[in-house]
Amino acid sequence: ATRLRLVLGDQLNASHSWFREKHQGTLYVIAELHQEASYTKHHAQKISAFFAAMSQFADALEQAGHRVLHLTLDETAQYQDLPALLAALFQRHNVDHFEYQLADEYRLRHQLENFTQGLTIKVTPYETEHFYLKDAELAHYFQQGKKHRLEHFYRKMRLRFNVMMEGDEPLGGQWNFDQQNRQKIKPKDFVAVPEPLLFSHDVTLIWERIQRHNINTIGEMNTALLWPVNRKQSLLLLDYFCRFCLVRFGQFQDAMTAKLDALGESKQWALYHSRLSFALNTKMISPQCVVDTAIAQYVSSEGEISLAQIEGFVRQIIGWREFVRGVYWSNMPEYGQLNVLNADNLLPDWFWNAKTNMNCLHYAIKQSLQYAYAHHIQRLMVTGNFCLITAIDPKQVDDWYLGIYIDAIEWVEMPNTRGMSQFADGGIVGSKAYAASGNYINKMSDYCSDCKYSVSKTIGDNACPLNALYWNFMAKHQQLFSNNPRNKMVFANWQKKPIDDQQAILKRAEYLLNNLHNI
Ligand code: FAD
Ligand code: SF4
């Protein structure tokens, strides 16, 4: 008899307690599945990266002496879905015990729950042993529908896991140093931006397989994959980040530029970001390893890396990453239906080809298609903001984000997209809607100077579309947003405008909303 242990594509955690001992009676199954490659239209590089990392993980397990069955699409194509494959494997290998790690996606967790309910063999689910918070602990921190706040949660996490603390006080006497961060990047800063560490893993055979099985993809394919596909590469990327990027991480965290091109396009899209999200979300590397390594670098830098930089980074991982996971699990499946602002417009076609005259959107989308990556502010304040202020149906927005990014897995994608960026959850994730006019983009980037539109204008054919759309959005939702003290000034400014001006702005917005596909 065999004990079958299933390892999903985002469960590549070599440190899991499963792997501490070797039993010839235990068979590890790692399988490329049509259902996983097609539940949404993924970026070509994303599917390739997952399949490559799974294959590398299977090899590593085998080399460590475990019994592994690595199945490619060619071998799993005949099975309709994961349960059908598992049922066949149970028979073939005389399985009397099935073990799996809890899936991080609602869709998969329920598929496995339903499947195992009908089984007569022994079934044991396990924690993934990846996150700071155990799955079983989430309910202590998060409640359905409750408007939890990151800052509060983040402090609890720092205290509980004793991260950068001096007793009960945060290191440096402050929890958050964001005010010192978030600067615009200027040409004088360009030369110091490090070349990103890019890998070049050959995925030609995987890519051929994806095409052979008619899996629809988006984005540009690069068969010399830039992303880390095993633990060793993930650790190299982490080390590179700590040595060369952490020192300016917070400072330029929100900056965007199109003008670094001359010094190397890859510098431009990566800036000081870690690009560790794929390594983290596949669990090739753990959040604790990332946080501990970054803090060790901060300590050994003896002041070269400021507290503001390390705090800003740590907050993303023990704060945001764990926070959105809690929000997801406490609110699914209802969360996936929320649409508090009743947004129902169609996502413009140029989200799939970057053909828009708006320079900021052109760059953010082009880069996403090319690299399956954009940094947080490009996602939140460029593409996300556009969809928010033009009332695009959150289902379409979710689908785009879930497909296009190398790191997109629903538990982290959805609260960020539907919640933080689209406010479709009415403020469960964030305390305000991240709506902005061209002014914000101009403040944080150099996109506007080369744009066909004029960022200083709100009406007229060449006025920045985001300006009128922003005012229109705020005016439309005045009732909902005016209670928030952070919006007081905004509405005071709107009221100050003469009625004729207000009407001209709303008319321009109406025109834009009717022509979203051609701007
Ligand atoms: P860095 O800027 O170097 O940050 C370090 C790490 O912190 C990241 O690798 C990530 O693990 C974590 N992190 C930072 N911000 C967040 C956040 N808001 N939520 C969760 N973790 C965070 N992240 C995903 O991993 N998958 C997604 O599908 C995803 N979709 C997003 C959709 C939208 C609309 C927005 C606004 C954000 C989304 N994010 C998502 C969060 C964030 O943008 C990415 O984690 C980050 O850009 C990944 O790049 P990086 O590794 O270089 O991050
Ligand atoms: Fe974007 Fe407006 Fe600036 Fe053009 S002018 S880059 S549309 S913010």
Indicate if 82 and 146 belong to the same structural domain. no
CB 28 within 8 A of CB 68: yes
Q: Is the pLDDT of residue 261 over 80?
A: no
pLDDT band at 338 (very low <50, low <70, confident <90, very high): very high
Indicate if 61 and 194 belong to the same structural domain. no
Indicate if 505 and 379 belong to the same structural domain. yes
Pocket test for ligand 1, best of 268, 282, 311, 316 (most atoms within 8 A of CB): 316
Q: How far, in Å, is the centroid of ligand 2 from the Cα of 475?
A: 21
Domain span at 7: 2-126
Indicate if 15 and 159 belong to the same structural domain. no
pLDDT at 70: 98
Q: 10 CB less than 6 Å from ligand 1?
A: no
If you average pLDDT over residues 227-241, what whole number do you get?
A: 98
Q: Is 147 left (phi over 0), alpha (psi -120 to 50) or beta?
A: beta
Which secondary-structure segment (H or E) carries 4? strand 2-6
Boundary-marking domain end, from 71, 98, 126: 126
Please check whether residue 213 lies inside any domain of the structure: no
Q: What is the token pair recorded at 194?
A: 């490090």
At 218-228, the pLDDT tens digits run 999 999 999 99
Indicate if 175 and 300 belong to the same structural domain. yes
Nearest to 4 by CA among 23, 15, 16: 23
CB 327 within 8 A of CB 419: yes
If you average pLDDT over residues 435-464, what whole number do you get?
A: 97
Q: Which long-range contacts (CB under 8 A, 24 or more apart) does 378-383 make?
A: 378/256, 379/405, 379/416, 379/421, 380/416, 380/420, 380/421, 380/434, 381/254, 381/434, 381/436, 381/440, 381/441, 381/444, 382/256, 382/441, 383/351
Indicate if 86 and 114 belong to the same structural domain. yes
Q: Who has greater pLDDT, 488 or 382?
A: 382
Please check whether residue 399 lies inside any domain of the structure: yes
In this structure, the strands spanning 217-218 and 42-43 are parallel
Q: How far, in Å, is the centroid of ligand 2 from the Cα of 361?
A: 8
Boundary-marking domain end, from 126, 156, 174: 126
Taking the CA atoms of residue 223, residue 227, residue 229 and residue 234 in that order, the dihedral angle to the nearest 10 degrees is 160
Q: 365 CB less than 6 Å from ligand 2?
A: no
C-alpha distances in angstroms, 432 versus 256, 338, 358, 381? Answer: 22, 16, 25, 13
As for how many domains the chain has, the answer is: 3
Tell me the CATH number at 10: 3.40.50.620
pLDDT band at 453 (very low <50, low <70, confident <90, very high): very high
Q: 451 CB less than 6 Å from ligand 2?
A: yes
CB 444 within 8 A of CB 255: yes
Indicate if 424 and 494 belong to the same structural domain. yes
pLDDT at 267: 86
At 384-403, the pLDDT tens digits run 999 999 999 999 999 999 99
Q: Which ligand approaches the C-alpha of residue 385 most closely?
A: 1
Please check whether residue 440 lies inside any domain of the structure: yes
Q: 467 CB less than 6 Å from ligand 2?
A: no
Which has the minimum average pLDDT: 76-90, 250-264, 320-334, 408-422? 250-264
- How many CB atoms sit inside 10 A of residue 512's CB? 20
Q: 360 CB less than 6 Å from ligand 2?
A: yes
Boundary-marking domain end, from 97, 126, 155: 126
The atom of ligand 1 lying closest to the CA of 274 is 3
The atom of ligand 2 lying closest to the CA of 359 is 6
Q: 447 CB less than 6 Å from ligand 2?
A: yes
Supply the pTM of this predicted model.
0.97
Indicate if 181 and 324 belong to the same structural domain. yes
Tell me the CATH number at 423: 1.10.579.10
Tell me the CATH number at 322: 1.25.40.80
C-alpha distances in angstroms, 127 versus 135, 137, 167, 174? Answer: 7, 11, 30, 34
Q: How far, in Å, is the centroid of ligand 2 from the Cα of 451?
A: 6
Please check whether residue 203 lies inside any domain of the structure: no
Ligand 2, atom 5: nearest CA belongs to which residue?
455
Indicate if 146 and 293 belong to the same structural domain. yes
Q: Is the pLDDT of residue 12 over 80?
A: yes
**Integer Cα distance of 63 and 54 in angstroms:** 14
**Integer Cα distance of 365 and 379 in angstroms:** 9
Q: 438 CB less than 6 Å from ligand 2?
A: yes
DSSP string, 422-445: T-TTSSSS-SS-----HHHHHHHB
Q: 368 CB less than 6 Å from ligand 1?
A: no
